[in-house]
A and B are shown apart, each in its own frame.
Chain A
Amino acid sequence: MAIIVNLDVMLAKRKMQSKELAEQIGITLANLSVLKTGKARAIRFTTLEAICKVLDCQPGDILEYKNDDEL
């Protein structure tokens, strides 16, 4: 998929664990895993807002677009 989720990178920068993030934004660890592995089909604005708030970052820090041909 052309949209890359860089959640791992942000989590490492903030030295935070997935479980902690999942608890703070109110989703299950399984759903966070779906998001991290790029299997998610869509992301709610509320979820994105909560992630940005907890990780103190911009949506662009988490999501990145790469042309499929370049991959």
Chain B
Amino acid sequence: MKRKNTLIKICIVFLTIARFVMVIGLVMVLYFGIFENTERYFTVQISRENYENVQVDEGLIVKTEYENSIKGAELKSTIKNYVISFNTGYRIMILLALTAVMGFSVYFIHTLLQFVKSALGEGFFSVENVLRVRMMGFILIGLGLVHLLMNLWISYIAGQYFELDKSASKTIEVSFSPDVFSSTIFIGLIVLVVAQAFDHGLKLKEDKELTI
């Protein structure tokens, strides 16, 4: 019991630090996003995974019709990803998405912290905790959806402005990775099932307590 309490207290310390760091991060994102020089570029990383058939040694070139419109865009080839910097056009959209993602992440950590804290006391199986676990599930699903939409959007931008360097060799790469457990949406669904189990546990506990 003592060891279990120590583990919970360590978790509480880590989660408190994580929450603090994330709040600072959110404030910094908002500060730099709103008050920094608007002439600065926002950087979007395009993963090579967005291009199914790009090999490591291949390059991307800006489509000729867009050469002038994104003159300010900067295309860097890094080891794994392309870093594309856009100017102010996408600023608000990226800022909103970032704020939403970070805000919900902070709220997720906060809820998790409250949940872990309740494990120290008597009220672990309570209505509040059922709601907390359910909320965490919904946040994870939401974050997964935002991630998915951002990826689709980045793929769209990449496809619209850039094309494969024709001089580079093309190969077809087939990859199969269901990747269910690393997807936030699926983890969220699993958490929702856990919330349902928690709800059932709460009812069993009430039944046990009210059986004289």
Which residue of B is nearest A51, CB measured? B212
**Distance (whole angstroms) from the CB of B125 to the closest CB of chain A:** 16
Which residues from chain B contact A44 at a C-beta distance below 8 Å?
211-212
B174 contacts chain A at the CB level, 8 A cutoff? no
B179 contacts chain A at the CB level, 8 A cutoff? no
How extensive is the interface on chain A, given as a class? Answer: 10 to 19
Binary interface profile of A, 6-45, with partner B (CB < 8 Å = 1, else 0)? 0000000000000000000001000110110001111110
How long is the Cα–Cα vector from A31 to B210 in the complex, in angstroms?
8
Which residue of B is nearest A48, CB measured? B212
Which residue of B is nearest A35, CB measured? B212
For B206, B210, B211, B212, the residue with the greatest tally of chain A CB atoms inside 10 Å of its CB is B212
Chain B stretch 154-212: residues in CB contact (< 8 A) with chain A:
206-207, 210-212
Identify whether the interface residues of B are mostly helix, strand, loop, or mixed: mixed
How long is the Cα–Cα vector from A35 to B206 in the complex, in angstroms?
14
**Distance (whole angstroms) from the CB of A44 to the closest CB of chain B:** 6
Which residues from chain A contact B211 at a C-beta distance below 8 Å?
40-44
Of A31, A41, A47, the contact of B207 (CB 8 Å cutoff): A41
**Distance (whole angstroms) from the CB of B105 to the closest CB of chain A:** 40
How long is the Cα–Cα vector from A25 to B49 in the complex, in angstroms?
71
How long is the Cα–Cα vector from A32 to B212 in the complex, in angstroms?
8
How long is the Cα–Cα vector from A32 to B207 in the complex, in angstroms?
16
Of A27, A32, A42, A47, the contact of B210 (CB 8 Å cutoff): A42
**Distance (whole angstroms) from the CB of A59 to the closest CB of chain B:** 14
**Distance (whole angstroms) from the CB of B209 to the closest CB of chain A:** 9
Residues of A within 8 A of B (CB): 27, 31-32, 34-35, 39-44, 47
Listed by A's residue number, 15 A-B pairs whose Cβ atoms lie within 8 Å are A27-B212, A34-B210, A35-B212, A40-B210, A40-B211, A40-B212, A41-B206, A41-B210, A41-B211, A42-B207, A42-B210, A42-B212, A43-B211, A43-B212, A44-B211
10 new A-B contacts, CB < 8 A, other than A44-B212, A47-B212, are A27-B212, A32-B212, A34-B210, A34-B212, A40-B211, A41-B206, A41-B210, A41-B211, A42-B211, A43-B212
